[in-house]
Amino acid sequence: METIERTQTVKKHRFTVEEFRMMGEAGIFGEESRVELIDGEVIEMSPPGWRHVWYVKQLNRMLTRFAEDRRSRHGDGYEVSVQDPLVMDEHGQPQPDLMLMKGVPPGRLPNTGDALIVIEVSDTSLAYDRKTKLPRYAAAGVPEVWIYDIEAETIEVHSTPTPDGYRKTLRYGRTDHLESTTIPGLAFDTNDIFPPKEPEPDEKST
């Protein structure tokens, strides 16, 4: 008797942005869920810790002040988006922590043509933000991406996007002065963004 073995190819379904939106409207993810769409796959994000919340709030204040000052001086319609979706392509809709972007008219979500700076605040998500999201931001042409490494207390500024990644990367520590490489006038002392340093163990006992 002859045994015939057949292999079956399993094909994954890649969700589109429209399907992702419909699932959200249907309540599939739940009100408290933090999910994003990367290459057609739904990715669940970890709940943020207090340092993550601190950075997002501080950056939101700083960017909002910059956008309002820019608008009053030059009339540019800059806006700050906090943990809102960014449409990358048919199968990609990440949810960056912050974006500085052009004004988006009613009736659609922001896309990569609107984004000026995308910011990811990274703790447990650092490897994912660097290896998965950053190359896709570059391929989509996002001009500048900041990654805040909470554990190392550094800020990476990535610019000059190409299909193969960002060509330029600058790293800033707690006591540096950061300047955007693509937005004139956007600069700040990094120490104003980082939370106060916790005292060393011997200092706590004194």
Q: What is the pLDDT of residues 161-180, one digit of tens each?
A: 999 999 999 999 999 999 99
Residues 29/20, Cβ–Cβ less than 8 Å: no
Burial 166-185 (b: 16+ CB within 10 A, else e): beeeeebeeeeebebeebee
User: Domain segments of the chain: what residues?
Assistant: 48-196
Instruction: Please tell me the total number of residues recorded for the chain in this structure.
Output: 206
Nearest to 37 by CA among 93, 78, 81: 93
Mean pLDDT calculated for residue range 105-128? 92
Residue 9 pLDDT class (50, 70, 90 cuts): low
- State how far the Cα of 182 lies from the Cα of 170, in Å rounded to an integer: 13
What pLDDT does 117 receive?
A: 97
Query: Which fold, 48-196?
Result: tt1808, chain A (3.90.1570)
Q: Report which of residues 148 and 196 the model is more confident about.
A: 148
What pLDDT does 206 receive?
A: 47
Residue 15 pLDDT class (50, 70, 90 cuts): confident
